[in-house]
Structure 1
Amino acid sequence: MREIVRTNDLVLINAIEALFTGARIPYLVLDQNMSVLEGSIGMLPRRILVDDDSEREARALLTDAGLGKELRPQKP
């Protein structure tokens, strides 16, 4: 799994989830339940991960959707 986005913007997370679901790209959103520790103020970012095999497709999809600036740097 590769982290491609890290954000605390819930609207952005929902948009990415919709794009990935529509494109049938498997993904995970980690740290969603950290609100228990932070008191529901949305301070801690959520991480969106995709399979290594789907990373290129996921990055292209987000870039085409105008969300390329949200992408984490690609690691070798």
Structure 2
Amino acid sequence: MAELIRTNDVALISVVEALLGEAGIPYQVTDRTMSVLEGTIPVIVPRILVADDREAEARELMVDAELGEWLRA
């Protein structure tokens, strides 16, 4: 799995989930529950992961949606 985005911004996570879901790109949001339990401390940040073979497609989708600035290197 490749890390696409790492953020505490729940609105951004929702938008990215919607975009990936509509495009049929499988994804996983990790550490969502822990960040809520611990309250958005910077140590535990939710990450959006996509399958390695769909990473390029997911990155292109984020850039097209003007979310490229959020992409992890």
User: TM-score, normalised to structure 2's length?
Assistant: 0.91
1:42 CA drift (Å) = 2.1
Which residue number corresponds to residue 48 of structure 1? Answer: 48
Task: Find the aligned partners of 2:18 and 2:2 in 1 and give their Cα distance.
Answer: 19
Gaps (5+ residues) in structure 2? none
Structure 2 counterparts to residues 51-62 of structure 1, below 5 A: 51-62=51-62
Corresponding residue SS for 2:47: strand
Cα-Cα RMSD: 0.8
Equivalent pairs counted in the alignment come to 70
Does residue 13 of structure 1 match 2:13? Answer: yes
For residue 64 of structure 2, what is the amino acid of its counterpart? D
Task: Find the aligned partners of 1:4 and 1:27 in 2 and give their Cα distance.
Answer: 9
Which residue number corresponds to residue 65 of structure 2? Answer: 65
Task: Find the aligned partners of 1:67 and 1:45 in 2 and give their Cα distance.
Answer: 18
1:45 CA drift (Å) = 1.5
Corresponding residue SS for 2:17: helix
Which 4+ runs in 1 deviate beyond 4 A? none
The alignment-based identity, stated in percent, is: 51
Gaps (5+ residues) in structure 1? none
User: TM-score, normalised to structure 1's length?
Assistant: 0.88
Over alpha carbons, which structure has the higher Rg?
1
Which residue number corresponds to residue 22 of structure 1? Answer: 22
